[in-house]
A and B are shown apart, each in its own frame.
Chain A
């Protein structure tokens, strides 16, 4: 015998699932559209936006690559890798210093570093233009490297510090009994134990750096030195009427991080969850 509430429950389940799947389609369709437009011709693009490409013009991707997207990609990879490494190491040192080493003004330093969490990059923009001009770091990847690292250290330190605080104190004691210095304890004991949170912070920093726009736009300008987000807007303004190539460029920019996300999904989720407080 089936009660009314049980029927409602099943019906509700079906409806919920249908809704979720419909939403998934709506969410994913723009991306599919982007990929498809990348292999269309310009006139196909304007004739029926929903149609599948007639002849798959994969050479749009080649064209986009040759029109600078290849260079932008290289720059983006370079900046992302370098600033991620720098950020994670500097933050891990700081987190270690804050949690397991007796440093003077511990509390001041803590507030100083974590206070950086609330600094919006736009606030620093105008003075930074002037500062980098006097440092001679205009249109130089070092400018991006320094800025990305500086503005990501607070958040990364915040995450790693929280993780380190949960590591038992006995770990250090054991290391110091062995006569290991603080530095050795850090490299050989603590850092390996922090691996999960390190992977999460690496992924979060990649996500940030790969997509950063404001600093990249203001502090670089020579063609090949541009990162993908800036390069793409340039591609759009320089080859405005060749829209399929612009779509192809967008796809090239989007795919690496999407792939990375699916590869490291587990860490991503943990990183994101930790990111908003444990």
Chain B
């Protein structure tokens, strides 16, 4: 009986598979980009960016327009997505095998998927440290997208996560940037007493919570353990530091945020707005957000935006000098017919003039090109942020791009549960462990 069911199922599956025509080439390592190939300045370049929306959207539009002035035969197709929408969109495009010539990537597992899938052109001959183009970049930025000694992406800008604070409010209340986690929590009660929302926090999309968690994990979990836990093959996820970090996170949500357990219903943009309007004292943000939070016409711009690294607990067991954040870059599609042209465009995008433009307001994206972030063109917080990123002992990639999607998704759900107080750190860790072992 059982056997017949099985064979029936196999038959069904076989028939269905035959119909679904699963003859696929499979992945081969992508061929290296020929450094001597002359780009043909014709055709259309399609680009998937993460610069959708205000104020970033014009950056690639301007780049494209200027490049077109130099090479009128080239046209562009820009797909500009946002931080939130680019994740699903990238998956859809990948599954449809419709990835454009140039596309955005985070470092970590996110980039490795494209590299392993043969979707990322090997840029080693043109961008490795020591090459003419490669020498323009900080070496660590290039290495963020390297695998087995090969280089696969053009790092566009660096990034790091900082607590941004309103300098006027801090000064009024006699507060200084806290140096330990406990100090942070006690400054929250001062702010609350003065009628401000201490930290504005909007976790509707889940990842803002993940950013807190990953930074705290870096502080509380020994670096080696943390790294090996990112990969399901080696993950154990048993370190006590995870539980301690999650406890710290819930303390922060309950003691410091105005929305508390309700934060899962608030958009991160609403939280950002609260700092910009001087309603909240702090908002945890990426360097990328500095210039748009403290935009020219905002109250925060007048009050002054200060930043500090999320303080670690005094007895942290991990690496209290590590900072969360990693360069973000652009991959050239290995299957692109215009690879040489795409590389030429990316060289243009990262020339010193465009790098400086990127690093200045209103964009405020600290270019990975050496010397682009300078007092002449970048805002104070951006310069300070980059300085601290460079001084940090290690850069820890975002939790949602460093590990495999199923594990990242389990952390995301767990983070939301911690915010709402519906699960204990133990339960969250157990569910992540389950997701990780299923993803082996």
Direct interface between A and B, CB < 8 A: yes
CA–CA, A241 to B78, complex, Å?
A: 23
Q: A129 contacts B269, CB within 8 Å? A: no
Q: A130 contacts B95, CB within 8 Å? A: yes
CA–CA, A274 to B167, complex, Å?
A: 65
CA–CA, A203 to B92, complex, Å?
A: 31
- A42 CB to nearest B CB, Å: 8
CA–CA, A238 to B57, complex, Å?
A: 9
Q: A223 contacts B98, CB within 8 Å? A: no
CA–CA, A223 to B95, complex, Å?
A: 19
Asked if A163 lies at the interface with its beta carbon under 8 angstroms from chain B, I say: no
| Residue in contact with B85 in the complex, picked from A127, A130, A234, CB distance below 8 Å | A234
Asked if B53 lies at the interface with its beta carbon under 8 angstroms from chain A, I say: yes
Size of the B side of the interface (Cβ < 8 Å), in residues, is: 27
| Residue in contact with A221 in the complex, picked from B20, B82, B89, B267, CB distance below 8 Å | B89
Task: List A112-163 residues whose CB lies under 8 Å from chain B.
Answer: 127, 129-130, 132-133, 138-139
CA–CA, A90 to B80, complex, Å?
A: 37
Q: Which residues of A contact B272 (CB under 8 A)?
A: 241
The chain B residue sitting closest to A222, CB to CB, is B79
Q: B267 contacts A240, CB within 8 Å? A: yes
| Residue in contact with A239 in the complex, picked from B20, B53, B95, B276, CB distance below 8 Å | B53
Q: Which residues of B contact A223 (CB under 8 A)?
A: 78-80
Asked if B228 lies at the interface with its beta carbon under 8 angstroms from chain A, I say: no
Q: A238 contacts B97, CB within 8 Å? A: no
Q: Which residues of A contact B82 (CB under 8 A)?
A: 234, 237-238
Q: B52 contacts A221, CB within 8 Å? A: no
- A241 CB to nearest B CB, Å: 5
- B418 CB to nearest A CB, Å: 24
Known contacts A218-B92, A221-B92; is-contact A239 B79 (Cβ 8 Å): no
Q: Scoring A residues 2 to 23 as 1 if CB is less than 8 Å from chain B, else 0, what string do you get?
A: 0000000000000000000000
User: What total of A-B pairs shows CB separation below 8 Å?
Assistant: 54
CA–CA, A172 to B97, complex, Å?
A: 51
Q: Which residues of B contact A242 (CB under 8 A)?
A: 54
The chain B residue sitting closest to A132, CB to CB, is B96
Q: A133 contacts B269, CB within 8 Å? A: no
| Residue in contact with B273 in the complex, picked from A132, A133, A241, CB distance below 8 Å | A241
The chain B residue sitting closest to A133, CB to CB, is B96
CA–CA, A101 to B30, complex, Å?
A: 58
Asked if B66 lies at the interface with its beta carbon under 8 angstroms from chain A, I say: no
CA–CA, A133 to B24, complex, Å?
A: 13
Known contacts A221-B89, A222-B79; is-contact A238 B54 (Cβ 8 Å): yes
Asked if B93 lies at the interface with its beta carbon under 8 angstroms from chain A, I say: yes
- A122 CB to nearest B CB, Å: 15
The chain A residue sitting closest to B16, CB to CB, is A127
Q: Scoring B residues 263 to 286 as 1 if CB is less than 8 Å from chain A, else 0, what string do you get?
A: 000011110110011000000000
Q: Which residues of B contact A239 (CB under 8 A)?
A: 53-54
CA–CA, A161 to B130, complex, Å?
A: 73
Asked if B77 lies at the interface with its beta carbon under 8 angstroms from chain A, I say: yes
Please indicate which of the listed interface residues B80, B92, B267, B272 has the most CB atoms of chain A within 10 Å of its own CB. B92
Q: B53 contacts A129, CB within 8 Å? A: no
Q: A241 contacts B270, CB within 8 Å? A: yes
- A240 CB to nearest B CB, Å: 3
Q: Which residues of B contact A222 (CB under 8 A)?
A: 77, 79
Q: A241 contacts B269, CB within 8 Å? A: yes
The chain A residue sitting closest to B205, CB to CB, is A237
Asked if B375 lies at the interface with its beta carbon under 8 angstroms from chain A, I say: no
Q: A129 contacts B85, CB within 8 Å? A: no
Q: B98 contacts A133, CB within 8 Å? A: yes
The chain A residue sitting closest to B276, CB to CB, is A241
Asked if B84 lies at the interface with its beta carbon under 8 angstroms from chain A, I say: yes
Q: A127 contacts B20, CB within 8 Å? A: yes
Q: B54 contacts A129, CB within 8 Å? A: no
CA–CA, A130 to B77, complex, Å?
A: 23
Q: B95 contacts A129, CB within 8 Å? A: yes
CA–CA, A192 to B54, complex, Å?
A: 52
Task: List A211-270 residues whose CB lies under 8 Å from chain B.
Answer: 218, 221-223, 234, 237-242
CA–CA, A101 to B110, complex, Å?
A: 57
Q: Which residues of A contact B77 (CB under 8 A)?
A: 222
Known contacts A237-B82, A240-B267, A241-B269; is-contact A221 B53 (Cβ 8 Å): no
Q: Which residues of A contact B92 (CB under 8 A)?
A: 129, 218, 221
Residues of A within 8 A of B (CB): 42-43, 127, 129-130, 132-133, 138-139, 218, 221-223, 234, 237-242
**What would 16 A/B residue contacts be, using CB atoms closer than 8 Å?**
A127-B20, A129-B92, A133-B96, A138-B96, A138-B98, A218-B92, A221-B79, A221-B92, A222-B79, A237-B52, A238-B54, A238-B82, A239-B53, A240-B267, A241-B270, A241-B273
